[in-house]
Amino acid sequence: MADRLQALRDALAARPGEPVPFDVLAAQVWPDEPPKHPRAALRTLVSRLRATEQVITEPTGYRLVPRPPAPCQLPADLPDFVGRREEIARLELIDAPVRAITGLPGVGKTVLAIREAHRLRPEFPDGQLYVNLRGYSTGPSMTVEQALARFVKALGGGPNDDYRALLENRRVLVVLDNATADVIAPLLPATPGCAALVTSRQDLPQFAQVRLGVLEDDEASELLKGMRVDGDTSELIGLCARLPLALRIAGANLAGRHLPDYVEELREHRLEALEIADDDTAVQATFDLSYRKLSQRAQRTFDFLGAVPGPDLPRGLAGDAIDELVAANLVQQNNDRYQLHDLLRLYAHARTTDDDRRAVFDWYLKHADGAEAELKVGFTRLLPATPDAVPFAGRDEAMAWFEAERPNLVALAEDHPDAALVAALRGYLLLTGQYTDLRTIARAALDSGETGQRAAAVRVCLAYLDWRFGEHRSAIEHSEHAIAEYRAAGSRAQEATALNILAGIYHDIGELGLAGEHLASAIEIYGPNGMTLQLIGGLGNLGLIELELGRLSSAEDALRRSVGLAREIDDWQDLANGLNNLGVVLAAQHRHADAEAAFGEALRLSQEHGLRPIEMSARVEYAELLIAAGRPSEARDQAERALELAGDDDLFIEVDACLVLAEVNRSVAEFDEVLRRAVDAEFRIIEVRALAGKAALLQDRALYEQAIERAESAGLRYRADVIRSGAASTIG
């Protein structure tokens, strides 16, 4: 039977996502002696296959729903792992959905969990998820929401997908590292076939638990031998309390030293501390001993490293003394970046001074300001850059630096909220579509008590991001506050930026009068003040408003002017955006070939320059054109790629792409879901389009009238005219 099941799966997988006829399946499953009733036999096999695969019954056959690639987020297994034979045996005997490894700091919980997770990989072929929850970190712990977002994204889902629903019919292992008891439950899979492995300093009796103690004497000896410590190590092992982290540090300090002398020093200075039951005190004593053996320069560097809140750091920040720290096994090197173990980071953090923290912040701010200046994108700088910003050799180097340092920059902006750092990161994070990160650090900065123009800068970020996440009322409030602050300070360019965002918000919720009013105010500032970059964006938004008001010729004129100005100054960001919007207007005029050319150039530019938000939008708009041109399969491809790019970061694009798929699939249920989400988020134009699409599918005159009424109440004249035309051609 197993062979038959595999043959059936292979036959379905050969044509993923497509129905395979019954007779084809039967011939491949039973090539020699087909059963007397092949369809009944197939039904039996399919019912068994559905235990592990999603198989859909079609009128002509069966269709296998392809699974996304299985994610593997596990860190690498340690090559010098020793001991833990008893604990591994106990873990192997556990047959429970949740397995916990608990114990004191530095005892090796994570190392054992990673070893066990790699052993279990074959049992969980649909993926292994891993997250370090940083429950005991000096920096901010990872929230449940952040962890869930990462898991959903790894599983191929979007921001509104349910984590546990994505695990259905899959065998996935979830590793929750450094967890506190209060965050575990929401992250556990609740699906048969899945399992979780949790590490924590806290006791977790509610789960099948292995409590990890210190190493046995022979295991500790094996660990030291692996570090090339020769001689009688029994007393050293006792003085280190057989704590793995303490043994590793002692072994590093013994490199090139006489063992008896080192043991005598340890006995003299740290015996009592190493035997104290207080976990942190015992570990700190071991760290102190290692720290004292460093040169003064290396000590100073180690103290400084404690001020870096992110996961690793570059050599440029660490300095030349980092090599001594690596040799002492206090810092791990990974190519040109360096990491501290969690407990060593805690120890370094305790030694860090306010001057260290300020120096780290200044280093990152100066580099971020310098990198931001090289991006050459059309975002108005919301606050002045530091006068001694570090120069970068062009855009590529600046982008590479931002990509490498993003985790540290975001962690720093969370740990030390500051409007200037948010302003420096805004261009890069918007350009690459990292909306969640920008929203997090902007909220932290606003909550920290920023005032005046610094608060206004943060509010501009939040206005745009809340808009993209469908929180329009909050976005409007942020915009209005920012406009007032900038106007009072005479910061005209920044005021116009806030006005432009406010116009976009009102456009999307169908209040075109207010949208036009605010956009006109922004353009009045741009033109006379020589703000060409900003004027280009303003004209692009004006074109979209003119489109919705039914003035297609005026819309095209505004967008062609925007595109022309962008070409003149080689502003590829606004050029790509303008071409995308121009394609929308040309499509509205039924000039399909011209529209396709505009979308094609917009996509090429956005992909060449890494403009993820513009690429997402262009793919959705192009998909709409492809539907109108009778090319639904191509439309589906574009919409699905846009959804993949949107990930967790852009609700508007996600809902818009889902509307395209509802149109392609001719699905009433999908139209209803889009309608629900559009109404909830106040995406008025999408709501109107979804109503019209459902009306066309059902040929429902009442729905058409409802869509026309919604369009007219919002001043969407173009949409209302299109719907009337569609109603006339569909139901007369």
pLDDT for the residue 7: 87
CA dihedral (242, 245, 247, 253) in degrees, to 10, reads -160
Helix (H, G, I), strand (E, B) or coil at 337: strand
% of the chain at pLDDT higher than 90: 39
- Asked if 541 and 508 count as a contact pair (C-beta separation under 8 A), the reply is no
* Residue 332, burial from CB neighbour count under 10 angstroms (0-12, 13-18, 19+): middle
Q: What distances in angstroms separate CA 513 from CA 95, 299, 384, 468, one per listed residue?
A: 64, 64, 33, 21
Mean residue pLDDT of the chain comes to: 86
Spell out the residues 6+ positions from residue 591 whose beta carbon is closer than 8 angstroms to its own: none
- pLDDT top residue among 731 and 231: 231
- The string of pLDDT tens digits covering residues 70-100 is 888 888 787 778 888 889 999 999 889 999 9
Angle at which helices 717-731 and 532-548 cross, to 10° = 40
98-122 residue pLDDT tens: 999 987 667 888 889 999 999 998 8
Long-range pairs, 1-6, Cβ under 8 A, ≥24: 1/48, 4/29, 4/30, 4/45, 5/45, 5/48, 5/49
CA dist., res. 381 & res. 384, Å (int):
7
The amino acid sitting at 708 is I
User: For the structural domain made of 296-352, what CATH number should be given?
Assistant: 1.10.10
pLDDT recorded at residue 256: 61
Task: Please give the radius of gyration of the chain, using alpha carbons only, rounded to the nearest integer.
Answer: 30
Please tell me the distance from the alpha carbon of residue 255 to that of residue 324, in angstroms, as a whole number: 12
Per-residue pLDDT tens digits for 226-282: 878 888 888 888 877 787 877 877 776 776 667 887 777 777 655 343 333 343 434
Give the model's pLDDT for residue 477: 96
Structure tokens that stand for 656 in this block: 């818009």
Helices (H) and strands (E) in the chain, counts: 36, 11
* Domain formed by 85-212, architecture: 3-Layer(aba) Sandwich (3.40)
Is the pLDDT confidence value at 654 over 70? Answer: yes
Q: What confidence category does residue 61 fall into, taking pLDDT thresholds of 50, 70 and 90?
A: confident
pLDDT band at 590 (very low <50, low <70, confident <90, very high): very high
Average pLDDT over residues 9-23: 86
Strands 313-314 and 195-200 come out as unpaired
Residues near 344 by beta carbon (within 8 Å), at least 6 away in sequence? 287, 330, 331
Q: To 5 degrees, how large is the angle CA 636–CA 640–CA 644?
A: 170
What are all long-range contacts of 283-289, with beta carbons under 8 Å and residues at least 24 apart? 283/105, 283/106, 283/243, 283/245, 283/246, 283/343, 283/347, 284/347, 284/350, 286/240, 286/243, 286/245, 286/246, 286/249, 286/250, 287/249, 287/343, 287/344, 287/347, 289/249, 289/250, 289/253, 289/265
Burial of 51 (0-12, 13-18, 19+ CB in 10 A): exposed
What does CATH list as the number for 2-64?
Answer: 1.10.10.10
| Token pair listed for 520 | 């006109």
pLDDT tens track for 464-518: 999 888 888 999 999 999 999 999 999 988 998 899 899 989 888 888 888 888 9
- Phi, psi angles (nearest 5°) of residue 101: -115, 115
pTM over the 0.75 mark: no
Does pLDDT of 586 surpass 80? yes
Per-domain residue ranges of the chain: 2-64, 85-212, 217-292, 296-352
Residues 317-361: tens digit of each pLDDT: 888 889 888 766 678 787 889 988 665 777 788 889 999 999 999
Q: Which residue is it, tokens 């036959």?
A: 11
The confidence score (pLDDT) of residue 274 equals 37
Residue 387, class by beta-carbon neighbours within 10 Å (0-12 exposed, 13-18 middle, 19+ buried)?
exposed
Q: How far is the C-alpha of 251 from the C-alpha of 328, rounded, in Å?
A: 9
| Domain 2-64 and domain 296-352 have a common topology | yes
The helix (H) or strand (E) run that includes residue 459 is helix 452-468
d(CA 336, CA 408): 15
Per DSSP, the residues of 493-561 read: HHHHHHHHHHHHHHHHTT-HHHHHHHHHHHHHHHTTTT-HHHHHHHHHHHHHHHHHTT-HHHHHHHHHH
Q: Does residue 647 contact residue 153 with C-beta atoms inside 8 Å?
A: yes
CA–CA gap between residue 271 and residue 265 (Å, rounded): 10
480 burial type by CB count under 10 A (0-12 exposed, 13-18 middle, 19+ buried): middle
In the three-class reduction of DSSP (H, G, I as helix; E, B as strand; rest coil), residue 386 is classed as coil
102 neighbors 197 (Cβ within 8 angstroms): no
Residues 6+ apart with CB under 8 A from 127: 70, 71, 72, 154, 155, 170, 172, 173
Higher pLDDT, residue 717 or 69: 717
| Residues paired with 131 in a beta bridge | 176
pLDDT of 386 reads: 87
Per-residue pLDDT at 280: 42
> Which position has the higher pLDDT, 2 or 39?
39
Q: d(Cα 102, Cα 42) in Å, to the nearest integer?
A: 48
State the pLDDT at residue 318.
86
Eight-state DSSP code of residue 172? -
Write phi, then psi, for 655 (nearest 5 degrees). Answer: -65, -40
Instruction: Choose the weakest-confidence range: 204-218, 521-535, 654-668.
Output: 521-535
Cα(622)–Cα(629) distance, integer angstroms: 10
β-pair partners for 211: 102
State yes or no: pLDDT of 289 exceeds 60.
no
Rounded distance between C-alpha atoms, residue 35 and residue 27, angstroms: 10
Please give the sequence-ordered ranges of beta strands (E in DSSP) within 84-194, or none if there are none: 98-103, 128-132, 173-177
- Classify burial at 157, counting beta carbons within 10 Å of its beta carbon; exposed 0-12, middle 13-18, buried 19 or more: buried
Angle between helices 572-588 and 592-608 (to 10 degrees): 160
* Residues 199/100, Cβ–Cβ less than 8 Å: yes
pLDDT beyond 50 at 459: yes
